[in-house]
Structure 1
Amino acid sequence: MCGLIAASIGISINTSGVFYSVVASSLHLYRGSFAFHMTIFSMVTAITALFVPSLLKKINFKLLLTIAVLLAVLGTAGMALASKTWQFNLLGALRGFATGIFSIVTVTMIINNWFIAKNGLTTSLALAFSGIMGATFSPIFAIIIEKTNWQFAYLVEAIVILLLTLPAILIPYKLDPAEEKRAPYGQAEETATTVNPGSRKINTTALLLLIVFSAFVAYSSSMTQHLPGYAGSMNYSIELGANLLSLGMIGNIVSKLLVGVISDYMGIVKATLLLISANILACILLIIGHPVALLIIGSFLFGSSYGLGAVCSPLLTLKAFGKNNYGKTFPMMSFAGNLGASIAFSIIGYIYDFTSSYIPAIIVILLMLIATVLSVLFIGKFPKIIRKIP
């Protein structure tokens, strides 16, 4: 599962920024025109995620995974041969569809099937590899581009995706341990008093609040990519801006690793509220902005917004609706998250264009984070509410 997340998000998405300026300059394209293929990638991934549970029921899992990986590898290798905007956009759609099949929805469904105990730890370990691989391979691809060319770098990326996904294809295992007549890890620890919302009707209010939560935290996380621009708007150096982005990525990795562990001991509601508090503090520090130490601390804490979307969202969904309804509900959270992230880049940029400041954008994010607190508090009460339903 670590390999699937590393390939579908860590390599395919989190290293994409390395290519923007180089490819655009090489082919005499607008940077925004080339980068638009990743917007298409994100939107197609979001739509695909909605249908993943149905596809997993109708098609053999290993066969579906193999086809998806081959499409992702071929689509990425095809980027090396493309030269027109429409070609990149078409390949972006193909890659988005393929990686959407073996991304967060599939991975978390498998983890939920195989792990009852330490579910939070396992989820956070797997999803942390999106940040780890992004941070590791971005400079590697940059060096390859500098030493050779961007076309060869895309071919190397395709090979890396294949290598990362091979274990999930080759190692024998089933989608659900019951298919192997085995029990999930920690099943003996499951008590008769455990609430199983999956056997009950899906609560519309809880569903809508979690959709809002996923969209808002994904929107918030997009501000991390604007940290270099924010530093520039405050007349700080380009080097500091790059360092702020790196700190945000470190916060991304650390938060994903920690929040799952914390949730196993404190519960996912308290763990999520703790992470939201860190993000609210980050917004305040970024708004103050002086001295530089506040920006540094704020950037690191702000990176934890990725942990909210990647780890807290699936765990909250599992808590609210149970494993039985997870496949019906989490794809909606995934769609909302991808949608929130895809529009945030443009909206945050437009806010700066019209106001000449990132402060209004950060204030909007601060309000969104406060709103997510209400969603989480309701989810915390939701299992108690459904116990009272006859």
Structure 2
Amino acid sequence: MARNTKTPRRGRVFYGWIALAGAALVYFTSSGTFFYSYGVFLPTMCDELGWSRAAMGAGLSLGLLTFGLPSPLIGASITRFGPRVNMVLGNLLAALGLVGMSLSHEVWHVYFFYGGLVGLGTGFGLYIACTTVVNNWFIRKRSLGMGLIIAAGGLGGFAFPPLVTWLISTIGWQMSWMVLAGINFTFAVLIGGLIL
């Protein structure tokens, strides 16, 4: 029986780092559009549409519920279909919800589009799916991978509010929601899905 004495070649990039970059891009984009942008839209939409801040704020509360409550189902879905499918389909649903937000003229539209579609889509496409990518690819550097994923979400919180503020002042809140939908679709669905 021959013994393989060849040493593995060095210089090739471990694909786990590429998958981590894709998951970090998804986490950056989804966190920025879901958690950190809503509050920037709130004053402008409330003033223009005559809603109370409490009524519109309830849309974010509902979104957080639909983000977190189905976590056991999300975990089962990731086990069955894998994190890529959940990220792509979840963020596609979230992008559709963001498009719907641009069409909102009644407060129940916000509850449906943001509280329902964006919250549920982000739930399926964000935290559990991204951390599963790290768990699937890393053993020794798992903590570093998790830290990088979470840091990407923090960077989304740093980058998106000023961007959204500028967009609203430049093109209005309706088109700003459309731009966020395009950003989410491009980076979290297309590029992130391809890298994973």
Q: TM-score, normalised by structure 2?
A: 0.82
The Cα offsets for residues 316-366 of structure 1, whole Å up to 9 and x where unpaired, read as xxxxxxxxxxxxxxxxxxxxxxxxxxxxxxxxxxxxxxxxxxxxxxxxxxx
Q: Does 1:95 align with 2:118?
A: yes
Distance 1:138 1:117 in 2: 35
> Residues 105, 135 of structure 1: CA spacing in aligned structure 2 closer, same or farther, 3 A cutoff?
same
> Residues 123, 3 of structure 1: CA spacing in aligned structure 2 closer, same or farther, 3 A cutoff?
same
Deviation at 1:93, TM superposition (A): 1.3
Q: What's the counterpart of residue 84 of structure 1?
A: 106
Deviation at 1:106, TM superposition (A): 1.5
Distance 1:104 1:63 in 2: 14
Partner amino acid, structure 2, of 1:46: G
Deviation at 1:60, TM superposition (A): 5.5
Q: Are the counterparts in 1 of residues 87 and 126 from structure 2 also a CA contact under 8 Å?
A: no
Q: Does 1:162 align with 2:162?
A: no
Q: Are the counterparts in 1 of residues 94 and 122 from structure 2 also a CA contact under 8 Å?
A: yes
Say what the alpha-carbon RMSD is for the aligned residues.
1.5
Q: Does 1:30 align with 2:58?
A: no
Q: Does 1:131 align with 2:154?
A: yes
Q: Does 1:45 align with 2:34?
A: no
Task: Flag structure 2 segments of 5+ consecutive residues without an equivalent.
Answer: 1-22
2:176 to 143, 153, 162: 153
Q: Are the counterparts in 2 of residues 80 and 155 from structure 1 also a CA contact under 8 Å?
A: yes
Q: Percent identity?
A: 25
SS in 1 for 2:105: coil
SS in 2 for 1:155: helix
**Alignment: residue pair count:** 172
Q: Are the counterparts in 1 of residues 89 and 125 from structure 2 also a CA contact under 8 Å?
A: no
Partner amino acid, structure 2, of 1:132: L
Q: What's the counterpart of residue 68 of structure 1?
A: 90
Distance 1:139 1:65 in 2: 25
Deviation at 1:160, TM superposition (A): 1.1
Q: Are the counterparts in 1 of residues 94 and 121 from structure 2 also a CA contact under 8 Å?
A: yes
Task: Flag structure 1 segments of 5+ consecutive residues without an equivalent.
Answer: 174-390
1:58 to 66, 80, 90: 80
SS in 2 for 1:149: helix
The Cα offsets for residues 126-147 of structure 1, whole Å up to 9 and x where unpaired, read as 1111121221121111111112
Distance 2:86 2:68 in 1: 18
Distance 1:151 1:101 in 2: 25
Q: Are the counterparts in 1 of residues 63 and 116 from structure 2 also a CA contact under 8 Å?
A: yes
The Cα offsets for residues 184-203 of structure 1, whole Å up to 9 and x where unpaired, read as xxxxxxxxxxxxxxxxxxxx
Residues 1-390 of structure 1 mapped to structure 2, 5 A cutoff = 1-59=23-81, 61-91=83-113, 92-165=115-188, 166-171=190-195, 173=196
Distance 1:127 1:48 in 2: 21
Task: Work out which of the two has the higher radius of gyration on C-alpha atoms and give 1 or 2.
Answer: 1
Q: TM-score, normalised by structure 1?
A: 0.42
Distance 2:168 2:32 in 1: 18
| Structure of higher RCO (CA pairs closer than 8 Å, 6+ residues apart) | 2
Distance 1:140 1:56 in 2: 32
Deviation at 1:61, TM superposition (A): 4.7
Partner amino acid, structure 1, of 2:194: L
SS in 1 for 2:69: helix
List structure 1 runs of 4+ shifted beyond 6 angstroms.
none
